[in-house]
Amino acid sequence: MSKRTYLATCLLPFMLFGCSSLGLQATADSAREVLPEQDGWAAAEGPVTGGALALEENVFTVSSRKAFVDALSQAGDEPKIIQIKGTINLSSDDDGQELTEEDYRVAPYNFEDYKNAYSPAVWNIKPLIKGRPNRNLDGPLEEARQASADAQKAQIVIHVPSNTTLIGLGDDATIEKGMLLLGDNVENVIIRNIAFEDAFDYFPAWDPGDSFKLDASYPGCQDTYVDASHGPQMCRGGRWNAEYDLISINGAKRIWIDHCTFSDGDRPDSMFPPVYPFPQNEITQKVQHHDGLIDITNQADLITISNSYFHDHDKAMLIGNSDKKTADTGHLRVTLHDNYFNNVGQRMPRVRYGQVHSYNNYFVGNAQGAGNGRNAYEAHLDSLANKPQHNVLRQALGAGKHSAIYSEANVFEIANGNASHAAGNMKGDVFFDTGSMFNGEMIDLLDAANAASGKPMSPDVGWKPELYGVNPAKPASDVVEYVKANAGAGKL
């Protein structure tokens, strides 16, 4: 592990902020740059400086998991700058050897036995609980799966403390095969110029009740088991769920993520198709080894995500993870600007409770493949016949319960889609848009989305953004060129 010293031109947080407002960098080096004044919700309650005031002994350059963890531990909550050089594999031991499924697996777990033990043909024939199969799996295979998952989690989840700047050196800095966790009581963190890839869960859990529905359009679907062709096992539903996001902001506040790239790397979930026969073989029932790219939950607050590239993934970003978490009210304030979402299926983001400002973002996807038909059964068959090779775009901006999304001058290019794929009603009441472009045309996005979905939302979100940083929002006509040139790691 090496250390480098940088001279700060401003020695106090408020002076750093002042320098920024004068159009000067905090130092001659981007490692000590701070969030520009008024740049989104992260700037609402004072400067976000990360590790800009780090002393010489708290400036590190790391290229391994061990060095990374040691640097975080050594500095604690003191201001620190950790420069990422090359690729850091979070699923590796102290000697740098990669750890895989066999290193974490606890007997008697193995995927084939687990899959067979909890298959709908076996598990779902039991009496339903509140209209669903029992979601609390038990038995030695589930216990072993959980123990295996705990072993992996202990290795690949890295806690990032307050007053931290993580910044990639050059154009190839990568953190892979693990998750950064910014937990409760963490604040003032800057993450820039890093590609995050492949937070791969070796031990995803099968949830037989997830999205389960007693749907009479499916032949043989009924609430009581009769025989192999009649019973709950013939109903749609059940999902594989992974645990790890690339970055989890779980209660933290005053966070700036900028010029980063997020993806599943070279192990996308499309490599792991459904393993159960019809009707548990919808494309959404693939074996999911990746959760979100960035999830923001549990009263996390004051976050700006800018100039970043999200690609080739299904569920990108959750802001608020439960309709029942009323404690999130007044929190989850997030700004997203100048980001690029390409071949992402949904949640760009999906919002509950939060006030979210989304402006000058570029969304590219294809809605073909979700399935068409007079009912769910016919849509299921149609989707299987289409065999989409892309992540089916279901909704870009998802308005969930008590959310207040303010969309401004975004650009949506959604093949085979309509405006409700750009602005999806996910139990939301309100949504506002101004100046956005959909498939090459300037439209009233909310009116068009309401008409397409049949689930109208009001434009009365109850707030108006004021935090735009140095520059105001660009017109939608300027967004694509700017975002393609600037979004992602290696473009700082």
Per-residue pLDDT tens over the stretch 312-344: 999 999 999 999 999 999 999 999 999 999 999
Local structure of 198: helix, strand or coil: coil
Q: What is the pLDDT of residue 471?
A: 82
Q: What is the pLDDT of residue 29?
A: 77
**Helix spans in 387-478 (H):** 419-422, 445-453
pLDDT at 9 over 50: no
Per-residue pLDDT of 168-221, as tens digits, reads 999 999 999 999 999 999 999 999 999 999 999 999 999 999 999 999 999 999
Neighbours of 88 (CB within 10 A): 25
Closest to 353 in 3D by CA, of 468, 201, 461, 194: 461
13's CB contacts (< 8 A; 6+ apart) are: 46, 47, 49, 52, 53
Active-site residue, from 239, 254, 347, 350: 347
**Is 135 noted as a catalytic residue in this protein?**
no
Q: What is the pLDDT of residue 387?
A: 87
Report how far residue 14's alpha carbon sits from residue 225's, in angstroms, rounded to the nearest whole number: 67
142's CB contacts (< 8 A; 6+ apart) are: 114, 118
399's CB contacts (< 8 A; 6+ apart) are: 351, 405, 423, 424, 425, 426, 428, 429, 430, 431, 457
Per-residue pLDDT of 338-365, as tens digits, reads 999 999 999 999 999 999 999 999 999 9
107 vs 102, 287, 300, 404, 448, CA distance in Å? 10, 21, 37, 47, 54
Q: What percent of the chain has pLDDT over 70?
A: 94
Report how far residue 329's alpha carbon sits from residue 324's, in angstroms, rounded to the nearest whole number: 11
Per-residue pLDDT of 91-101, as tens digits, reads 999 999 999 99
Helix (H) or strand (E) holding 133: none
Task: Identify whether the C-beta of residue 105 lies closer than 8 Å to the C-beta of residue 148.
Answer: yes
Report how far residue 161's alpha carbon sits from residue 164's, in angstroms, rounded to the nearest whole number: 7
DSSP conformation class of 430? B
173 vs 19, 42, 49, 168, 196, CA distance in Å? 28, 24, 21, 5, 9
Local structure of 43: helix, strand or coil: helix
Per-residue pLDDT of 389-416, as tens digits, reads 999 999 999 999 999 999 999 999 999 9
Q: What is the pLDDT of residue 19?
A: 38
Residues 171, 65, 82, 267: is their CA dihedral positive or negative? positive
Q: What is the pLDDT of residue 13?
A: 40
